[in-house]
Amino acid sequence: MPATSRDTVSPPHMADAAAGVPDPVTAWAASPPRPRPPWAAGIPLCMHSPAARRQPHYPPPHPSRTISLPATVRSVAAARRFSEGLLAEWGLHELAGDTALLLSELVTNAVVHVPDAAGDIELALTRAQGHLIAQVTDTGGHLPRCGEAGPDSENGRGMWLVEQIATRWGHRPSARGKTVWFTLALPAFAR
């Protein structure tokens, strides 16, 4: 088996602990902006960012906060409060609404699609150069997907909203299950 080398510095949080898992920042930075396809009737399939081919070295860690939440319905509101408070602290009020909406969708999916008492949900927000990164890690194995929701359906549009609002989004395996992430571009004054 050929020898390989890797960075041995500890990852900033559990979501990045799985060896060989591409970092969403790297994937985002390495790929050119994707054009939005013409939308057909109904809700389109999601086209999330491709995985990175290599993991380059980049500057020291960006400001980041992580919170662990129980896998309950109340965690959706707690995730919104956490993000709104942190974005206010970072002076990113303009991103608060979109971030709260998208986190609501991801945390709701984690609560609904993870078996009861299967572990906590971990939410991480990172202010990186030029963008905000949000990551939701849960113990579930179901990968997110965009589906077609009927006109009268009360659910089934969450990942479609993520696709439409986020600059980039994707998912990857983690040490605990899976991590679903999205990025939002920082306002011009915050870059």
Tokens found for residue 42: 């109904």
Using the structure block, give the residue that is written with the tokens 């008492």: 117
**Nearest by Cα to 107 from 68, 149, 79:** 79
The answer to the question of residue 7 being in a domain is no
110-128 pLDDT, tens digit per residue, is: 888 776 656 789 999 999 9
- Domain holding 164, by residue range, is 70-191
In a domain, 65, yes or no: no
Antiparallel, parallel or unpaired: β 168-173 and 131-138: unpaired
Do the domain assignments include residue 42? no
Confidence band (pLDDT; 50, 70, 90) for 154? low
Domain count, the chain: 1
In a domain, 21, yes or no: no
Q: How far apart are alpha carbons 136 and 120 in whole angstroms?
A: 11
% of the chain exceeding 70 in pLDDT: 59
The residue type at 13? H
Q: How many CB atoms lie within 10 A of CB 93?
A: 11
Does some domain include residue 127?
yes
- 16 falls within a domain: no
Report CA 68 to chain centroid distance, whole Å.
15
Is residue 190 situated within a structural domain?
A: yes
- The most confident of 10-24, 80-94, 133-147, 160-174, by mean pLDDT: 80-94
**What is the per-residue pLDDT for 14?**
45
CATH number of the structural domain spanning residue 101? 3.30.565.10
Three-state DSSP state, 31: coil
